[in-house]
Amino acid sequence: MTTTPTALLAMGPGIAERLFTPVQRERLTALVDTDPALVAHRLTGPDPGVAAALAEAELLITCWGAPPLTADVLA
């Protein structure tokens, strides 16, 4: 049995919408377990959806404006 890795998009505001077309978002969700509508602009802070996705993520898909990966984030 194969499982797809979990991924989180992390990039600046508006980047994901410009970077991925609807077809590319479909392809992405076929390759990894991700919510393409959830894009982390910050990896720390009050957003419980980002915190939960980050805790489960095996991959970070990053681009311009990605939040820093500090020691606290990686802990």
- Per-residue tens of pLDDT for the chain, all 75 residues: 558 999 999 999 999 999 999 999 999 999 999 998 999 999 988 889 999 999 999 999 999 999 999 898 887
Residues 6+ apart with CB under 8 A from 45: none
Residues 6+ apart with CB under 8 A from 32: 4, 5, 6, 7, 59, 61
3-class DSSP assignment, residue 65:
coil
Q: Are 7 and 57 in contact (CB under 8 A)?
A: yes
Where exactly are the structural domains of the chain? 7-68
The whole-number pLDDT of residue 68 equals: 92
CA nearest to 9, candidates 53, 50, 61: 61
pTM summary value: 0.87
